[in-house]
Amino acid sequence: MKSNPDFSKSPTIDQVGVEERVARLNTRSIKKESKVAGLKLALNMIDLTTLEGKDTEGKVRQMCYKAMHLHDALPDLPTVAAVCVYPTFVATAKAALGNSGVKVASVATAFPAGQSTLDVKIRDTQFAVDCGADEVDMVISRGEFLRGNYSFVFDEIAAVKKACGPARLKVILETGELSTLDNVRRASDIAMYAGADFIKTSTGKIQPAATAPVTLTMLEAIRDYYYETGIMVGMKPAGGISSAKAALQNLVMVRETLGAAWLDNHWFRFGASSLANDILLQLLKEATGRYQSSDYISKD
């Protein structure tokens, strides 16, 4: 087996160059059938999320119904990819979603700060998996990362990955706390080599969250990892993507960085709470030719 790379030597990133590339990708004009197909694809990639202190079983059940029935008045709509909840609501969500195919993702590892012991983090993860979580969204220890303790971060991810068993592991870098794109790139590399199935930008609790330069940098890290190992890793921008336009721009980024294979909810997700409704507005507009009002779309 090949040894892991020296993470202190991850490729450097020129921020201005990334911003220019993003600006150029954003000039892609997505019209007509491409737009409809892209929007449906994006809907199908959503991890419909509620991660609040005030969440209850009732709230989670309502969201799960929405996950399966985005807008029944409009035919041929896909479901979202998954719902994303705290570990205590995994069982509720699992029951509510039944065999709809919508997966249950659970945050874990003392989300969102991750300031706890490894032991607690492992038990948090195991609890979620035992309750039936298909996917686990963990947070990395940003403090350890920023002080250069990369092996700590690596080992922690590897341990959580082991605790996940069959569940797929998404590793949240919390890029809003990493300060530079160089760090985003390095954290991506650590997560992937430690066994992440997905790398994810943010918890949604810190601003900025999933900015386009961050997402592009992570997609490029995934590409390099794939070049190097042949292993596909998924990507999940989370937080801050609330418009259909931004979702399409993300799809463009994926298409032109990783290609067709990643344009599937097995490999790409949006962590979002309000994105679905904006996409629905756009799809309704495409179907009717009229601009829409949010009064006509459910807010679960």
Partner 1 sequence: MPIKPKATKSVAKQTAKKTITKKATLDFVGGWSYAPSPESKDHIRLEKKYGHFINGEFVKPSAGKYMATHSPSTEEHLADVALGDAADVDKAVKAARKAYDTVWSKMPASERGKYLYRIARMIQERARELSVIESMDGGKSIRESRDIDIPIAAAHFFYYAGWADKLEYAFPNRTVTSVGVAGQIIPWNFPLLMAAWKIAPALACGNTVVLKPAETTPLTALKLAEIIRDCGLPPGVVNIVTGDGRAGAALVSHPDIDKIAFTGSTDVGKIIQKAIAGTNKKITLELGGKAANIIFEDAPIDQAVEGIINGIFFNQGHVCCAGSRLFVQEGIADKVIRKLKDRMETLVVGDPLDKNTDIGAINSREQLDKINHYLKLGVKEGAEMWQSSCAVPRKGNFCRPTIFLHASQSHRIVQEEIFGPVLAIQTFRTVEEVLEKANNTPYGLSAGVWTDKGSKIFNMTSRLRAGVVWANTYNKFDPTSPFGGYKESGFGREGGLHGLLPYVNLK
Partner 2 sequence: MSRIGILKTYKIYIGGQFPRTESGRYYPLENKQGEVIANICLSSRKDFRNAVVAARGAFAGWSGRSAYNRSQILYRIAEMLEGRSAQFIEELILTGSTRAAAEKELHQAIDRLVYYAGWCDKYTQIFSSVNPVQSSHFNFSVPEPTGVVAVSAPQDSSLLGLVSVIAPILAGGNVCIVLAAEKKPLAAITFAEVLATSDLPGGVINILTGKTKEILPQMASHMDVNAVVWAGNSAEEIKQTQETGAVNVKRIFNWTKNDWTSAQAQNPYLIFDLQEIKTTWHPIENIGTSGAKY
Active site residues: 137, 200, 236
Determine if 90 is a binding residue for partner 1 (CB under 8 A).
no
Question: Contact region for partner 2 (CB under 8 A) — 12-20, 43-51, 164-172, 238-246?
Answer: 12-20
Q: Which of 79, 7, 21, 5 is nearest to 219 (CA)?
A: 21
- Residues 6+ positions from 228 with CB-CB distance below 8 Å: none
Q: How far is the CB of 94 from partner 2 (least distance, A)?
A: 37
Question: Contact region for partner 2 (CB under 8 A) — 61-69, 205-213, 238-246, 249-257?
Answer: 205-213
Determine if 17 is a binding residue for partner 2 (CB under 8 A).
yes
Cα separations (Å) of 289 from 98, 187, 231, 281, 292? 35, 44, 43, 11, 9
CA dihedral (237, 242, 81, 29) positive or negative: negative
**Partner from partner 1, partner 2, none binding residue 54, C-beta < 5-8 Å depending on class:** none
Our CB check for partner 2 shows the closer of 157 and 184 to be: 184
Determine if 16 is a binding residue for partner 1 (CB under 8 A).
yes
Strands 46-49 and 82-85: parallel
Site for partner 2 in 166-195 (CB under 8 A): 180-181
Q: How far is the CB of 242 from partner 2 (least distance, A)?
A: 17
| Preceding amide of 208 cis, omega within 30 | yes
Other Cβ atoms less than 10 A from the Cβ of 234: the count is 21
For 180-213, the DSSP string reads SHHHHHHHHHHHHHTT-SEEE---SSSSS-S-HH
Determine if 236 is a binding residue for partner 1 (CB under 8 A).
no
Determine if 115 is a binding residue for partner 2 (CB under 8 A).
no
**Partner from partner 1, partner 2, none binding residue 1, C-beta < 5-8 Å depending on class:** none
Determine if 215 is a binding residue for partner 2 (CB under 8 A).
no
Site for partner 1 in 237-296 (CB under 8 A): 251, 255-256, 258-261, 263-266
Q: What stretches of 91-224 adopt beta strand conformation (E)?
A: 103-107, 135-139, 168-172, 198-200
**Partner from partner 1, partner 2, none binding residue 167, C-beta < 5-8 Å depending on class:** partner 1
Q: Which of 299, 298, 300, 224 is nearest to 73 (CA)?
A: 298
Residue 80 — φ and ψ, nearest 5°? Answer: -75, 175
267 near 225, Cβ under 8 Å?
Answer: no
Residues that bind partner 2 (CB under 8 A): 14-17, 19, 22-23, 180-181, 208, 211-214
Residues that bind partner 1 (CB under 8 A): 11-14, 16-18, 20-21, 27-38, 40-41, 43-44, 78-79, 81, 99-103, 134, 164-169, 197, 220, 223, 226-232, 251, 255-256, 258-261, 263-266
